[in-house]
Amino acid sequence: MTDPRKARVATVSLAGCFGCHMAILDMDERLIGLMEKVEFDRSPLTDIKTFTRRCDIGIIEGGCCNEENVHTLIEFRKNCDVLIALGQCAIMGGLPAMRNAIMHAAEPLRECLEEAYISGPYLRNMTRLIPNDPVLPLVLDRVYPCSEVVDIDYQIPGCAPSGDIIYSTLATLLDGRFTGFDREDIRFD
Amino acid sequence: MIETAGVGAAQDLEIAEICARFGNDRHRMLDILLDVQEARRWISPASMDAIAAAVGLTRIAVEGVASFYSFLSLAPKGRVTIRLCDDIVDRFAGLDAVVAAFAEELGIAPGETSADGAFSLEYTPCIGMCDQVPAAMINEVVAVRLTKARAREIAQRLKAGIAPGEAVLPGFAELGVQERVRAQVENNIRQAGEVLLGPVMQDRGLQAAMAMEPGAIIDAVEASGLRGCGGAGFTTGRKWRFAAGTQADRRIVICNADEGEPGTFKDRVMLTERADLVFEGMTIAARAVGALEGIVYLRGEYRYLLDHLHAVLEERRARGVLGQGFDIRIQLGAGAYVCGEEGALISSCEGLPGEPKTRPPFPVTRGYLGFPTVVNNVETFAHVARLLDQGPGWFHAMGTERSHGTKLFSVSGDCERPGVYELPYGQKVRDLLALAGAEHAAAVQVGGPSGTMIGRDSFDRCLSFDDLATGGAIIVFSSQRNILEIVDYYMSFFVHESCGYCTPCRVGNVFLKKAIEKFRKGQASDEDITYLKELSGTIIETSRCGLGMTSPNPVLSSLENFPLVYAALTRPSKDGVKATFDIQSAIDGARGIAKRRSYIFDKDFSK
Amino acid sequence: MTGESFVFHIDGVAVTAKPGQTIMEAADAAGIYIPRLCDVEGLRHQGGCRVCTVKADGRSVSACTQPAAPDLKVENDTPARNRVRRDLVEMLFHEGNHLCPICEKSGNCELQAMAYRLEMTVATRFPYLEPCRELDASHPDIALDTNRCISCGRCIRASQDVDGKGVFGYVGRGIHRRVAVNGADLAHTDAAVTDHAMSAAVCPVGCIIRKDEGFRVPIGSRHFDHGLIGHEIEEKRE
């Protein structure tokens, strides 16, 4: 890159477990070298909650299970040149998408929420209610992989992805020489 | 309760008797299951156990067959099952009103069986009556040119306990076997050609063949240039030569009367009016290749022809032109388009699910039960009989350089004179449309869904193997019709009819159909056009049989010939958000459960 | 079959074959890997998954069923062939519920390993079909999750041809075609955990599950963590 300025990176965890963010830390000491080329904007790592300016790279962990995830993902798409889906949940829905398999029921969402909060055998929910605070975003009919909602430029597979594959992908992307993953490094687990 | 093949099941005398009627032969599984279906109106787990015990198979093997065919049911069906032909041509001719009339009278929706077990109502793909739509099968009786009033009338008679035949045609019971066929279904022969539908001298071809050496018969068929009339167009003489040249104890001749391509009905007319000629052709083929066994695979939808065909066979036996060495049996199908594929057809004759066979070996060397087998179309066999009578040169002189003789075309859809036309190969589409009174056609589906959809700029193309090859279906659409609705229907047809053996056809066609739905909903972008093409390419390249190799054709040929239809429905994605993603429908369920609007995506007009 | 062996070419490499051998059998012997899922050593060829599709003299055929022939020119490991294969593998992923992170077969799964080998990493264009089939955990030693079944039919052939039992079979048609058991559920068949059909090598995915084995070998130390699928065959090549 000829541009002397640091690349601006934003990250977010949607319907994920933060495992992929932890995996970013698995880059270990390579993070120090990387930080010479990169600065983090909006991200849980910086605790910056809104975009301060346009970013070069947006990294998304998790898929979309509620309306806020969709809103955030669209914000990222608007504010980032390159969007990366990080990990299986962002790529294909992951664990939260297990609920998609009951989508063929008559009222799948109600069935899902009722089992989770009312009728499930291992519950201790004294209120016997499905949580419905106005601050809670509406749940989507199913869990969507990020690429079903917005255009995704790259996907880094894994649950969670290894520090190695995250590092090599970011490093080569920043140098403009990313040509795909080494087949030996691809993992979906 | 777990049912096992124990004493109770094995003692089911009725099932045991049905199995015994077919020699407890597992290769007659389809016949056994059809009879059990008729007797019991479903194939219950206990029935499957009893059949398995009788023929020496596992229950899962029986279930594999029973669950494959649309006309066999694993849940109880009504005493009368009304199968409404759901073809696009029927839909355009007012199917909805007919369905509504039946549903209202019988108190059941399509897919349901009435609580008293009297009626089932269901949809079925093309039943070969596209020239007299809307049509339906009521048990094995065919009812054509249905209207709302007629549907109501038939339903009322059925409710009054009148048998399906009488309900559709009062006086049905008094009619003879052949009269019944002609009373149920119109022939609609609009143009009789020189070979098949014009005057025909009985058994003259066979007499000529009897005076010839088998090799000379094959020479004559090859010299005539006759090619298979089912659509693929393999040279008939060469096929026979392969079968004759393979060392074997038995050889089999099979007539493919599984005319399942939507829009095709010419074999129906041939079997009604020229059954003798078809059997004559089969007998000639048997002499040419050295076969003693013949099978006519008759699609289940043509069950109404069965008694008539048996009568013709019986009459031929009485005349001494059949049954003296070579004889023919009729294998009834049970609702599976894929059985028109010759390997699948052979599987079905063997009592298996109608799955195509791995090629090689080809049927001509290892076919039915492993023996060399010649499979030809109804029309092809009739041609054989005629060309042996009139001479290969006579046949060869008709048509074009690589497509000889005449061809039967089944014309349907938006035209004044739907029906069967026999024309020499090489006619322009435009000329056929003029004959049929379809000058105002906007689109023509040549060769059915697996063929090509062409527009006005292609009406000068020729109907022959060199240009537009076809098994004979010509479906006409006026400018009032929605091209994508047609494509969507055809894809749903292929999804319904894929056997599921191979991945690309089983899964890929579902994806193609879903992609077309996106276009229809206005949720497609320009990239989706590339997607349609690439997905089609994968399906065509990797599918195991002709079904998958042609199933993307409705999409590809409409893309090629009607690009504006697609272009008009695509929209660019905004801000990188997918056109397919619909936030409103995604949160609609949650809005209902939370009983409030979305504070992110719904506008607040209260302020 | 008997007769003289002959030579044909796969991606320009000369391969020797005996009459009657399929393209894949000859390729395996020569140390050339042709990707496959429904085919496995010791069982009849099925030609159903189509992942082994190659171009032989310009015609697309399944390498596991197509006989090799003298002078045949086979195109195998090329970007075009692998793109089509990736489509097929992706179709199988989307037809069932293949959530690798929660599947105990992960790391030993041939479908997953094939996705690695064929680099299935770009954003998908295929919809997810998300089936919802009931789990069959009736048998004391074996569980079946057919939501993960890829209809390869290896268990059917193994049970029928090797075990002589016929525990499994296909039922249904088209997209509804699936593997079912010879009885009300697996406990009511004569299935045994010692059957070849139930061995880890037969089911390529996490559909047939041997109980109590799950995570004995941790994620990261499993079969395909030690090399790409097919590397054993490729290592035979000198």
> Which residues from chain A sit within 8 angstroms of residue C116, using beta carbons?
183, 186-188
Q: b or e along C188-202 (b: 16 or more beta carbons within 10 Å of the residue's beta carbon)?
A: ebebeeebbbbeeeb
Distance from CA of C131 to the nearest CA of A (A): 6
Q: b or e along B371-381 (b: 16 or more beta carbons within 10 Å of the residue's beta carbon)?
A: bbbbbbbbbbb
Phi/psi at B201 (nearest 5 deg)? -90, 125
Chain-chain contact of C116 with A189 (C-beta, under 8 angstroms) = no
Residue B478 CB partners (closer than 8 Å, separation 6+)? B414, B440, B441, B442
Neighbours of C55 (CB within 10 A): 17
CATH of segment(s) C85-225: 3.30.70.20
| Angle at the Cα of C200 from the Cα atoms of C199 and C203, rounded to 5 degrees | 90
The answer, yes or no, to whether residue B8 has pLDDT greater than 70, is no
**C-alpha Rg value of chain B to the nearest Å:** 25
pLDDT in tens, B469-478: 888 999 999 9
Q: Which CATH superfamily is domain A7-98+139-185 in?
A: NADH:ubiquinone oxidoreductase-like, 20kDa subunit (3.40.50.700)
Q: Are B274 and B261 within 8 A, CB to CB?
A: no
Domain ranges of chain B: 7-66, 81-186, 191-396, 406-477
The span from the CA of A64 to the CA of A137, in Å, is 12
Q: How far apart are the first and last CA of chain C?
A: 28
Strands (E), B116-194: 119-124, 136-138, 141-143, 189-191
Chain-chain contact of C172 with B2 (C-beta, under 8 angstroms) = no
> Which residues from chain B sit within 8 angstroms of residue A144, using beta carbons?
581, 586
User: What average pLDDT score do residues B12-21 get?
Assistant: 95
Distance from CA of A134 to the nearest CA of C (A): 31
pLDDT at A1: 46
Q: What percent of chain A has pLDDT over 70?
A: 98
Reported ipTM: the value is 0.97
Using N-to-C axis directions, what is the helix angle for B214-224 and B378-390, rounded to 10°? 100
Chain-chain contact of B60 with C48 (C-beta, under 8 angstroms) = no
pLDDT at B606: 76
The span from the CA of B495 to the CA of A60, in Å, is 36
Q: pLDDT-based confidence at B5, cuts 50/70/90? A: very low
**Would you call B149 helix, strand, or coil by DSSP?**
helix
Query: Which tokens hold the place of A3?
Result: 């541009």
Say yes or no: do domains C6-77 and C85-225 share a fold: no
The Cβ-side half-sphere exposure at B351, using a 13 Å CA radius, reads 18
Phi/psi at B403 (nearest 5 deg)? -135, 105
pLDDT in tens, B531-561: 999 999 999 999 999 999 999 999 999 999 9
B63 close contact with C: CB closer than 8 A: yes
User: What average pLDDT score do residues B327-334 get?
Assistant: 98
User: What average pLDDT score do residues B293-319 get?
Assistant: 98
Q: Which residues lie across from B189 on neighbouring strands?
A: B420
User: What average pLDDT score do residues B371-379 get?
Assistant: 98
The span from the CA of C85 to the CA of C106, in Å, is 20
Q: pLDDT-based confidence at B3, cuts 50/70/90? A: very low
Match 């009367």 to its residue by tokens.
B257
Q: Which CATH superfamily is domain B191-396 in?
A: NADH-ubiquinone oxidoreductase 51kDa subunit (3.40.50.11540)
Distance from CA of B359 to the nearest CA of C (A): 8
Q: b or e along C32-42 (b: 16 or more beta carbons within 10 Å of the residue's beta carbon)?
A: bbbbbbbbbee
Indicate the DSSP class of residue A10.
E
User: What average pLDDT score do residues A127-136 get?
Assistant: 91
Q: Which of A160-164, B1-5, B299-303, C118-122 has the lowest mean pLDDT?
A: B1-5
Q: Which chains touch A (3 or more CB pairs under 8 A)?
A: B, C
Q: Are C108 and B558 within 8 A, CB to CB?
A: no
Distance from CA of C80 to the nearest CA of A (A): 17
The residue of chain C nearest to residue B549, with distances taken between CA atoms, is C60
Q: b or e along B504-516 (b: 16 or more beta carbons within 10 Å of the residue's beta carbon)?
A: bbbbbbbbbbebb
The answer, yes or no, to whether residue B607 has pLDDT greater than 80, is no
Q: What is the mean pLDDT of chain B?
A: 95
Domain ranges of chain A: 7-98+139-185
Q: C-contacting residues of A 169-188, CB under 8 Å?
A: 180-181, 183-184, 186-188
The span from the CA of C189 to the CA of C192, in Å, is 9
Q: Are B60 and C179 within 8 A, CB to CB?
A: no
pLDDT at C51: 98
Best probe of the A interface among B577, B582, B601, by most A CBs < 10 A, is B577
pLDDT at B603: 85
Match 């019991």 to its residue by tokens.
B40
The residue of chain B nearest to residue A135, with distances taken between CA atoms, is B599
User: What average pLDDT score do residues B292-297 get?
Assistant: 98
Chain-chain contact of C175 with B58 (C-beta, under 8 angstroms) = no
Q: H-helix or E-strand containing C53?
A: strand C53-56
Residue A76, amino acid: F
- Closest-CA residue to C87 (of B503, A155, B513, B559): B503
Strands (E), B320-465: 327-332, 373-377, 406-413, 419-424, 443-446, 452-455
Best probe of the C interface among B44, B501, B543, by most C CBs < 10 A, is B501
The answer, yes or no, to whether residue A2 has pLDDT greater than 80, is no
pLDDT in tens, A48-84: 999 999 999 999 999 999 999 999 999 999 999 999 9
Chain-chain contact of C119 with A186 (C-beta, under 8 angstroms) = yes
Q: Which of B72-81, B375-384, B518-527 has the lowest mean pLDDT?
A: B518-527
Chain-chain contact of C84 with B538 (C-beta, under 8 angstroms) = yes
Residue B360 CB partners (closer than 8 Å, separation 6+)? C66, C67
Using an 8 Å CB-CB cutoff, list residues of chain B that contact chain A.
573, 575-578, 580-581, 583, 585-591, 593-596, 598-601
pLDDT in tens, B233-269: 899 999 999 999 999 999 999 999 999 999 999 999 9
pTM of the prediction?
Answer: 0.96
Chain-chain contact of B508 with C91 (C-beta, under 8 angstroms) = yes
- The rounded average pLDDT for each run of 10 residues, N- to C-terminus, in chain C (238 residues) is 87 97 98 98 97 98 98 98 98 97 96 98 95 95 97 98 97 97 96 97 97 93 96 90
Q: Are B295 and B255 within 8 A, CB to CB?
A: yes
Selecting from A67, A113, A139 the residue whose C-beta is nearest the C-beta of B601 gives A67
Distances in Å between the Cα of A114 and the Cα atoms of A108, A121, A125, B597, C129 are 10, 11, 11, 20, 24
pLDDT at B4: 44
> Which residues from chain A sit within 8 angstroms of residue C115, using beta carbons?
186, 188
Burial class (CB in 10 A: 0-12, 13-18, 19+), A117: middle
User: What average pLDDT score do residues B269-288 get?
Assistant: 98
Q: Which chains touch C (3 or more CB pairs under 8 A)?
A: A, B
> Which residues from chain B sit within 8 angstroms of residue A78, using beta carbons?
575-576
Q: So what's the architecture of C6-77 in CATH?
A: Roll (3.10)
Kind of pairing between the strands at C59-62 and C53-56? antiparallel
pLDDT at B2: 41
pLDDT at B6: 45
Q: DSSP H helical segments within B298-356, as ranges?
A: 306-319, 342-349
CATH of segment(s) B81-186: 3.40.30.10
pLDDT at B11: 63
Query: Which tokens hold the place of B324?
Result: 């003296």
pLDDT in tens, B488-527: 999 999 999 999 999 999 999 999 999 999 999 999 999 9
User: What average pLDDT score do residues A79-107 get?
Assistant: 92
Q: pLDDT-based confidence at A3, cuts 50/70/90? A: low
Burial class (CB in 10 A: 0-12, 13-18, 19+), B496: buried
The span from the CA of B39 to the CA of C42, in Å, is 43
Using N-to-C axis directions, what is the helix angle for B45-55 and B13-21, rounded to 10°? 50
Pick the CATH number of B406-477 from 1.10.10.60, 3.10.20.600, 3.40.50.150, 3.90.79.10: 3.10.20.600
